[in-house]
Structure 1
Amino acid sequence: MYAASLVTALVVGMSPVGMSPIPAPLPTVACPAELPANTTCHGGQDSTGAFYSIAIPSNWNGTLVLHAHGGPDLGAPTQDRSVGDLTRWSVMVREGYAWAGSSYRRGGYGTRMAVRDTENVRQLFTSAFGEPDVTILHGQSWGGNIAAKAAELHDYDGVLLTNGVLAGGSRGYDYRVDLRVVYQYYCANHPRPSEPQYPLWTGLRKDSTMTGSGLRARLQECTGIESPSQLRTPLQQRNLSDILAVTKLPERTLSSHLSFATFTFRDIVHNRLGGRNPFGNRGVQYAGSHDDAALNRGVERFQADPSAVRDLSYDSDLTGRVTEPVLTMHAVNDPTAFVEHESAYRASVAGDNLVQTFTTESEHSALSDSGYASAISALSTWVRTGQRPTPASVAESCSAFDRTYATGCFFDPRFTPGSYDSRVYPRPGGTHWPALTWSQAAAWSHIPGVGITG
């Protein structure tokens, strides 16, 4: 009813009753081929420099899905980023939801920056098309951290978090800190002894010209990871086996984790924290190698700067203060954002407004369309009727959607993840900033200079 009245008002050039006059229309662009026919798409760049994409199907059900993407990307924002996200989650539009997403105004880390840019595209949508009946915020990967933080700062009707990085920045990357130091202990080529030295918590020296391909070449040199196992030298195989055993990382994503611990760490430290160190590994006892005693004696150790931990925590750690329904979906075998992130989030959220579901999938960046359709439908019903779903009810609903999408149903309603510390080495001795409370976050927001810069 609401969508139909809105379309009528637009056709006759009037504002819907009770709304402000509609500003100049948003540019219309071609829709990705994956979207249903008769979908209207809009795209452009907002006043901050972020690119946005919006899609409204002809059978719009009155609900807007507001998307927060993962990463962070380190390059300059592009329109392709938001179009690619729209394409990847075109199932939302095929299910009758309007969709809007931002590229964010710049590359690099900054959870609260991304929250602001996600809100900006929401305001663009509302200004052009009116207030949706329902707004659901969807965050994927790092976007899960963004969406969970946004839900603490702004009002939405519901929140969907898929394969989310939900342990927050101050401890959500500890396993990559561990990788950075363990890798260097075994490989000693990042940096090489002949190159300028720097503390490993910086990821990479600020003026380095190393590229992703250059980093992969060093990983191959040390471990032979790109070669068949029978072509690796005994030392390469032992290095690879030790690194994987100690860090508990999957071989297939080792390169991407090392890239994050190199280039994204450099961005966090040099570009966002003014050269201060938010990471620490003092007191961590690494295990699983062929010689743990030697590893623990020889691995580089460092203590975090409390002010850097405070600022990273303020930017991205989660207080759990959410009042809207929140549904999460996480692959049990996610090789990038481990499923134990869900345990960290569950520990922060009080009350009954969090339902967590798990699938037996093994990918991070995209899950089954049938699963996404089931999750968004269950959350929408919860928002509109107050009927709280269960992991079992979400799983049971999937088969109906799979008749349309035929991508498989993989929900496991019996699964419970282990604790976060069961997967990631805990930091003894107070490396982390104390748990961020809502009152602390509110107080810090008034202190000049607190938080991530840029």
Structure 2
Amino acid sequence: MRRLTSLGVAVSLALAAAPAMATAVEPAVTEAAVTELGGTLPGGATWAAELPQDWNGTLVLYSHGFRPGPDNPAWDPGFDSTAQALTDRGFAVASSSYAAPGWALGTAVADQLGTLAAFSSAAGEPARTIAFGTSMGGLVSSLIAETPDSGVDGAVSTCGLLGGGINLNNYQLDGIHALAELLLPGTALQLTGFRTAEEAGVTINALMGAVQQAQATPGGRARLALAAALMNTPTWFSGDTAPGRKDYAAQQEAQYNWLLQTIPFVVGSRVSIVQAADGDSGWNQGVDYGSLLWDSEQRGQVKALYRSAGLDLQGDLGTLTAAADIPPDPQALEWMDRTSTPHGELLMPVLTMHTLADILAPVEYMEEYEETVADAGAGRLLRQAYIERTGHCTFTDAERVAAVLAMDERLETGRWANLAEPRQLDRSAESLGLGEADFIRYRPAEFVNDREYPQIPGDEDGDGDGHGHGHGHGKGQGKGHGHGKGS
């Protein structure tokens, strides 16, 4: 953060004259003098803000992503350059640490809204507030968009985990279930309920060794492709362009490289989620893995690699389905539904932004989120933007600021018009002098890992939350377990 004005002076000046309305025209760009504000919220989270002297009245309320800890600062250094670009254009920026690192969804929404209240007390109430989040923070922003009387006017979710925490646990489980059953048959390997890093480490080491060994043979590579498909692993790893549509060998090599990077993080991070939910919400009991692959965009690649290797794909899918016997922890499932799952009931405009090859928040999540919002009758409030690039949250400052400007204009005019169209976003981004922009028109493939909540004690409607959202579209489940595709 850039300390250019003292806290006491800042608060007195801000309280004396807070702007009444945000301008709809992009302000002239100068390196703004900013005032740092901050403090500690009653729940223990710290908050920080940067207030430019020429504040335009709009606050960007930033929600950061997953942090393993122990450090848990209020201000995310990874957002520094974007925050400066925003304050240079008259926007104030505020963020919180959340009350604890890790899977912080139990308090994150309240922490962010507490930050908004603390900022308003110190600097004056914003004319409008835009919730902006990255990764897990993108999920936080989408949950804020469903929170009544939040004081927030619009949300921008970037690289967000918008399939929600339950789908996160399940799609990762589907992938590691396939790796364990096909590469380590007969091995009693823990896949869920990790309570310690040591427990997760045993599984990580076993899976990493098996993956590296499998890559050496055609049959191993085919099975890695199947597991990767079930885990929504991108087929584009590096370079400016993705492998050709039928360049299955290059696609599989990309998936292998992603798996090597991903397995330690996703398995290790489950410890934090289990600790937060006091149990593991992930389950695959009753899942039909043949149906999951049938709905996957990557089924052509998997079938071709299996055929080339002379392996029995249907036999392997049958093995996975027969071994799918992991039930959810009912308490954890209820907690994850209540704290970590969007239900699509938007109360404000939302703009999502996603790269095409994101390993930690698969782009297929955007299809799932769009479907959830449409099912809730709020589709008119949602727009989605895509960036032709690989990586998780690998946006340029130009792209991030363009998304904020688009939302600010949407709130000013009350209409989307063409604000979220790729050409318009590109023009806006490239006019900022902040770097390149690669917005593209795109429609993501089906997210195949969602399923109907299982029947649990005390939950007669079977949605897993105890009160009846009916969330989940039932793809990939065996007969009698769901509806829709795969049932």
TM-score after normalising by structure 2: 0.71
1:322 Cα shift?
2.0
Aligned residue in 2 for 1:390: 418
State the identity as a percent.
Answer: 24
> In the alignment, is residue 405 of structure 1 matched against residue 433 of structure 2?
yes
Q: Does 1:322 align with 2:346?
A: yes
Shift of 1:245: 4.6
Report if the CA contact (8 A) 2:422-2:440 is conserved.
no
Map of 2:177 onto structure 1: 181
Partner amino acid for 1:222?
A: A
Aligned to 1:264: 269
Rate the CA distance shift 1:238–1:61 in 2: closer, same or farther, 3 A: same
2:371 corresponds to 1:347: yes
Are residue 152 (structure 1) and residue 176 (structure 2) matched? Answer: no
Aligned pair in 2 of structure 1 residues 260, 157: CA closer, same or farther (>3 Å)?
A: same
Q: Which residue of 2 aligns with 1:26?
A: none
Query: Distance between the aligned counterparts of 2:108 and 2:443, measured in 1?
Result: 30
Aligned residue in 2 for 1:363: 391
Cα root mean square deviation, aligned: 3.8
Cα distance per residue 1:383-409 (max 9 Å; x no partner): 122232436646325335324335222
Structure 1 counterpart of 2:337, from 313, 317, 340: 313
Check whether the contact 2:32–2:54 (CA below 8 A) recurs between aligned residues. no
2-structure distance, mates of 1:300, 1:14: 58
The aligned counterpart of 2:167 is: 171
C-alpha distance in 1 between matches for 2:44 and 2:11: 30
Quick one: which of 202, 212, 223 aligns to 1:224? Answer: 212
Structure 1 counterpart of 2:35? 40
Partners of 1:356 and 1:391 within 8 A in 2: no
Amino acid at match of 1:221: G
| Match among 124, 127, 130 for residue 133 of structure 1 | 127
**Any idea what SS the aligned residue of 1:377 has?**
helix
Distance 1:306 1:210 in 2: 22
Where does 1:53-72 land on structure 2 (aligned, <5 Å)?
53-71=48-66
Query: Structure 2 CA distance, aligned partners of 1:39 and 1:145?
Result: 28
Residue type matched to 2:279 in 1? G
Distance 1:83 1:431 in 2: 44
Show CA shifts across 1:35-66 (max 9, x none). Answer: 94523334554443323331123332111000
1:105 matches 2:99:
yes
Residues 123/77 of structure 1: CA separation in 2 closer, same or farther (3 Å cut): farther
Return the offset for 1:198.
6.5
Does the aligned pair in 2 maintain the 1:284–1:425 contact within 8 Å? no
Which residue number in structure 2 is paired with residue 331 of structure 1?
355
Distance 1:362 1:404, change over 3 A: same
Could you tell me how far 1:305 is from its partner in structure 2?
A: 3.9
The answer as to 2:285 corresponding to 1:297 is: no
> Separation in 2 of the partners of 1:53 and 1:254?
36
- In the aligned structure 2, how far is the partner of 1:411 from the partner of 1:378? 13
Deviations 1:314-353 (CA, angstroms, capped at 9, x unpaired): 1122222222222222223323212222222222332422
Change (3 A) 1:297 1:76: same
CA distance in 1, matches of 2:268, 2:417: 40
CA distance in 2, matches of 1:241, 1:111: 32
User: Using the alignment, how far apart are the partners of 2:360 and 2:14 within structure 1?
Assistant: 48
Aligned to 1:29: none
Q: Deviations over 1:90-144 (max 9, x none)?
A: 4323332111111211123242411111112212211111111111111212212
Deviation digits for residues 169-213 of structure 1 (CA, Å, limit 9, x no counterpart): 222332201122122224439xx95xxx675222x3x3452687x
In the alignment, structure 2 segments of 5+ residues that lack a partner are 1-6, 20-29, 235-254, 294-301, 470-487
Q: 1:88, 1:12 → 2: CA distance?
A: 26
The answer to whether residue 66 in structure 2 is matched with residue 82 in structure 1 is no
1:179–1:258 Cα contact (<8 Å) kept: no
Shift of 1:275: 3.5
Match of 2:137 in 1: 143
Q: Amino acid of the residue matched to residue 108 of structure 1?
A: G
CA distance in 1, matches of 2:439, 2:108: 30
Residue 274, structure 1, aligned to residue 278, structure 2: yes
How far residue 285 of structure 1 moved from its aligned partner, in angstroms, is 1.5
Post-superposition Cα deviations, 1:398-429, rounded to whole Å, max 9, x if no partner, equal: 3353243352222224x2223xxx33345478
Residue segments in structure 1 that go unaligned for 5+ positions in a row: 1-6, 20-34, 442-454
